[in-house]
Structure 1
């Protein structure tokens, strides 16, 4: 936290103009968050003056659309599957990774290496969500 208040009236016009704005290089990140359900509610970061985006947990698309699938060990079937984010359900050992998979299937075939990376075992339930089409470039 800053030790003293920062008075906006003492800032230059240029500095005031960018309060609550994102840098052009971070605009794509903001767009991804907004597609997930986050919104700018007129609060700014106390350190850089950038916008803070907020969202109720149950409004985050990745949470609403995710579901539990059963993990099976093997070699994933070839095909043009979309990019999906998968994550284990372990709070203390949380792991997530990007895989190409059938987002409609109730089971997910992962290699032994992928199972190890996710800290899960065959038969475990993991969370899966398809990435938005704009995000599936991997």
Structure 2
């Protein structure tokens, strides 16, 4: 029909999610080859906790732009494998504090070569300036305040 639109071709959400899945496959493959035993999202969580220090689950969810259930889903295997520690907050018994363990820090170091390989591959194909521009644009997108939220 003449009125039909090609949603997959023009939908911002679809395009971003397709690109995200494509890039995630690259990073997951490179991390797996490094022997880190974590996936790209888990590696990002571990790196964030190492850099920023212990965070509540809500702080971590906000920093990762995830809801609390999704961050919990991502933390369970990390906790099970001893890569993060989740403890009840001393100041607010309802809050859980997440911190990276020494084993988690070791996995970051093990995975670093795989992560760097993925970064190099991606930037080599897209170009450093375009990759930086994309990261800046994604930061802008994350900062948008949609009226429906």
- TM-score where L is the length of structure 1: 0.29
Q: Whose helix fraction is larger, Structure 1's or Structure 2's?
A: 2
The structure that has the greater radius of gyration is 1
Q: Whose strand fraction is larger, Structure 1's or Structure 2's?
A: 1
- TM-score where L is the length of structure 2: 0.27
